[in-house]
């Protein structure tokens, strides 16, 4: 088994994915290594190893890929768990008048351009034969067909762009890696810093702790086949409309 690379390991879902992947691996010689990459340092469970990456800086992505490839162990899965909805100077827009070009540019840089550059440098590390996975966290609000409420222009558009990037990537990857799976993942609403300002009710259906979300997403990834490549799949295994 090859290694699993989690990008965005300092975020709520990223940390939970790394923890879930590491459970029991210290005593399992057959389990593949876990590499956790993030913009800043973060505590890691054994036996994960860490490293730096910044999705807004291609040089760090290129350098991270080179480090991951350096030990010669093949990469079986790449999971991009990064994403931004709000932050300093960035608030989900309720109306057109709230659009800010700098906020839009940053949302696209992290949510769409960043994962595309990760694919540029990490897909070449995936094996050409055998099952392998490239996945990125998407969101149901990135679905054009499912948009019935409006608002959140930047987040919706950047996730829609990500979905198109993944679909296009799936077509290209299939030409050289026919057993590969490329997928977007909709985790549901997760009680992390990203959703915190919106006070999700943890008792509502589709609202999960990071640990629950990680378990759901890894189960979904384990069940996907090349026939489903290029789709966005929700936490319950159902496809999200384009």
Domain CATH number, residue 181: 3.40.50.720
- Domains of the chain: total: 1
Residue 29: its pLDDT value, please?
57
Checking if the pLDDT of 199 tops 60, the result is no
| 71 vs 29, residue with greater confidence | 71
Q: Domain for residue 194, yes or no?
A: yes
Q: Domain for residue 47, yes or no?
A: no
Q: Express each pLDDT in 105-141 by its tens digit.
A: 999 999 999 999 999 999 999 999 999 999 999 999 9
- Virtual CA dihedral for 86, 56, 209, 237, nearest 10 degrees? 110
> Mean per-residue pLDDT for 48-57?
97
Q: Domain for residue 153, yes or no?
A: yes
Q: Domain for residue 163, yes or no?
A: yes
Predicted model pTM: 0.93
CA atoms within 13 A on the CB side of 19: 15
Q: Domain for residue 30, yes or no?
A: no
Domain of residue 153 covers 54-234
State percent of the chain over pLDDT 70. 91
Q: Domain for residue 241, yes or no?
A: no
Q: Domain for residue 41, yes or no?
A: no
pLDDT tier, 239 (very low <50, low <70, confident <90, very high otherwise): very high
């Amino acid at each position: 088994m090859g290694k699993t690379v989690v990008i965005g390991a300092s975020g709520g879902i990223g940390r939970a994915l790394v923890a879930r992947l590491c459970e029991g691996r210290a005593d399992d010689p057959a389990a593949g290594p876990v590499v956790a990459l993030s913009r800043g340092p973060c505590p890691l469970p054994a036996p994960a190893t860490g490293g730096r990456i910044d999705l807004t800086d291609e040089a760090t992505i290129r350098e991270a890929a080179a480090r991951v490839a350096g030990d010669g162990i093949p990469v079986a899965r790449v999971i991009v768990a990064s994403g931004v909805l709000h932050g300093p100077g960035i608030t989900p827009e309720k109306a057109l008048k709230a659009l800010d070009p700098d906020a839009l540019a940053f949302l696209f840089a992290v949510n769409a351009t960043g994962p595309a550059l990760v694919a540029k440098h990490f897909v070449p590390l995936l094996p050409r034969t055998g099952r392998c996975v490239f996945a990125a966290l998407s969101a149901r609000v990135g679905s054009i067909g499912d948009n019935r409420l409006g608002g959140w222009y930047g987040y919706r558009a950047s996730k829609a762009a990500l979905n198109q990037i993944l679909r296009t990537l799936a077509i290209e990857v299939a030409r050289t890696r026919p057993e590969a799976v490329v997928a977007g993942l909709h985790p549901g609403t997760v009680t992390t810093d990203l959703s915190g300002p919106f006070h999700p009710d943890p008792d509502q259906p589709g609202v999960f702790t990071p640990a629950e979300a990680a378990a759901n997403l890894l189960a979904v990834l384990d069940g996907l086949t090349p026939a489903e490549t290029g789709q966005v799949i929700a936490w319950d295994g159902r496809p999200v409309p384009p």
